[in-house]
C-alpha cells in the first residue's frame, strides 16, 4: 500500500495542519504496517501556477513544443503519476483567505488532466482516480462549520470535496481543527477534538460524507 503525504502550510513548525498530517500518517502506518510513505512538501516543491505552457500538451499538441512546454509537462506528469500510484493520500489543507493555499491549488491544477484523472463521456464527466482514500487535515483560525454565514464563506473543504469527487474519489475524510485563532482554550479544545477525529479517520471503513461526495461527483 502506498501513501502520499502532502503538506502545503507556509508556517513551518508552527503549522497545525502539518502537526495533524504527521499524526494521521503515523496512526495510519500503525494500523497498516506495510504502508510505503512518500512525502511532498508544496512549500518547498510547489509547481508553478497553471499557464499556457503547462496546458499545451493537454490539448493534443505533441510536436513543436517549446522548452518551457516540455519542462512544465514533465512537472505535471511527475505529480499526476505520483498521485495515481498512491492508494491513500493525506493532505494538509489550511484555510487561507477563505480557501486552500495557492500552492495546493497549483498542485490540483496539475492533476486535473483529461484521460488521467477524469474524462468526458456522452453522459457527463467520469472520474478516473477511483478507489483511493483521501484524508484531509483541515485547519482554520475561525469557526466556519456551525453557521450558514460561515459555511457560505468557506471555499476550502467545499472545493476539496468537489475536485476530489470530480476525480472519482468518494472516500474523503476530514480531520478538522477550527477556531485556532480564538485563544489558547479554543485551540486546546480544537486539537483535542482533532486527535479524536484522527483515530476515527484511520479506522473507519467508509467516509462519513461519502454519499454527498458521490452526488457532487
Number of folded domains in the chain?
Answer: 1
Residue 120's domain is classified under what CATH number? 3.40.50.360
Q: Could you write out the DSSP letters of every residue in 53-64?
A: HHHGGGGT--SS
Residue 59: what pLDDT? 62
pLDDT at 57: 64
Q: How far apart are CA 100 and CA 38, in angstroms?
A: 22
Contact 4, 40 (CB under 8 A): yes
Give the pLDDT confidence of 10-39 residue by residue, as tens digits.
999 899 999 999 999 999 999 999 999 999
pTM for the complete prediction? 0.90
The pLDDT score that the predictor gives to residue 35 is 97
Rounded CA-CA distance 98/18 in Å is 19
Full residue range of the structural domain in which residue 54 is found: 2-216
Other beta carbons less than 10 A from residue 171's beta carbon: 20
Which regions in the chain score pLDDT beneath 50? 208-217
pLDDT score at 90? 98
CB 86 within 8 A of CB 4: yes
Amino acid at each position: 500500500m502506498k501513501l502520499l503525504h502532502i503538506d502545503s502550510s507556509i508556517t513551518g513548525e508552527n503549522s497545525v495542519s502539518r502537526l495533524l498530517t504527521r499524526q494521521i500518517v503515523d496512526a495510519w502506518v500503525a494500523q497498516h504496517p506495510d504502508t510505503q510513505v512518500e512525502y511532498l512538501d508544496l512549500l518547498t516543491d510547489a509547481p508553478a501556477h497553471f499557464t499556457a505552457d503547462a496546458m499545451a500538451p493537454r490539448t493534443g499538441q505533441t510536436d513543436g513544443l517549446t522548452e518551457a512546454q516540455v519542462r512544465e509537462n514533465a512537472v505535471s506528469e511527475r505529480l499526476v503519476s505520483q498521485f495515481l500510484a498512491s492508494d491513500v493520500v493525506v493532505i494538509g489543507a489550511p484555510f487561507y483567505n477563505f480557501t486552500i493555499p495557492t500552492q495546493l491549488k497549483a498542485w490540483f491544477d496539475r492533476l486535473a488532466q483529461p484521460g488521467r484523472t477524469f474524462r468526458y463521456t456522452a453522459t457527463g464527466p467520469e472520474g478516473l482516480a477511483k478507489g483511493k482514500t483521501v484524508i484531509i487535515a483541515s485547519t482554520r483560525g475561525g469557526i466556519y462549520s456551525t453557521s450558514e454565514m460561515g459555511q457560505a464563506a468557506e471555499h476550502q473543504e467545499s472545493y476539496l470535496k468537489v475536485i476530489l469527487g470530480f476525480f472519482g474519489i468518494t472516500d474523503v475524510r476530514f480531520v478538522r481543527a477550527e477556531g485556532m485563532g480564538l485563544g489558547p482554550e479554543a485551540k486546546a479544545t480544537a486539537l483535542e477534538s482533532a486527535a479524536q477525529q484522527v483515530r476515527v479517520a484511520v479506522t473507519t471503513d467508509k467516509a462519513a460524507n461519502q454519499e454527498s461526495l458521490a452526488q457532487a461527483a
